[in-house]
Structure 1
Amino acid sequence: MGLMFRKRKKIGPLILNFTENGFSSWSFKVGPWSWNSRAKAHRVDLPGPLSWKQDKNKSRA
């Protein structure tokens, strides 16, 4: 596996993600909470190196 290019551009709470092929996805981050357009998942940063991510495979009843 070779080197991969990634770049992030922050515009306030909006984060644009780019790869070598161009635009990849966008994220929205407010405080410890964030949402990513590609994963369509919520994430919350916890103290230290921990974080919580929504399990998108579980269906809502």
Structure 2
Amino acid sequence: MGLMYRRRKKYGPIILNFTENGFSSWSIKIGRWSWNSRAKAHRVDLPGRLSWKQDKSRA
């Protein structure tokens, strides 16, 4: 397994994700809730290391 280049730029609640090939996806995070454009999934951070995720395809 080789090394992967990943970079994140934050502009307030908007997060832009980049890989070695350029722009990858964008996310929005407000408090404990977040949504990612690539996965099209909602995620809620729970206490500790837990989180809850709902895929759009299963909704």
Which of the five TM-score ranges fits, normalised by the shorter chain?
over 0.9
For structure 2, the 5+ residue unaligned runs are none
Question: Would you tell me which structure has more strand in proportion to its own residues?
Answer: 2
The offset of 1:16, in angstroms, is 0.2
- Percent identity of paired positions between Structure 1 and Structure 2: 81
**Length-normalised TM-score, structure 2:** 0.94
Say which one has the larger Rg.
1
CA contact (8 A) 2:44 2:53 kept: yes
Residue 31 of structure 2 is matched in structure 1 by 31
Root-mean-square deviation (CA), in Å? Answer: 1.0
Runs (4 or more) in structure 1 with deviation over 4 Å come to none
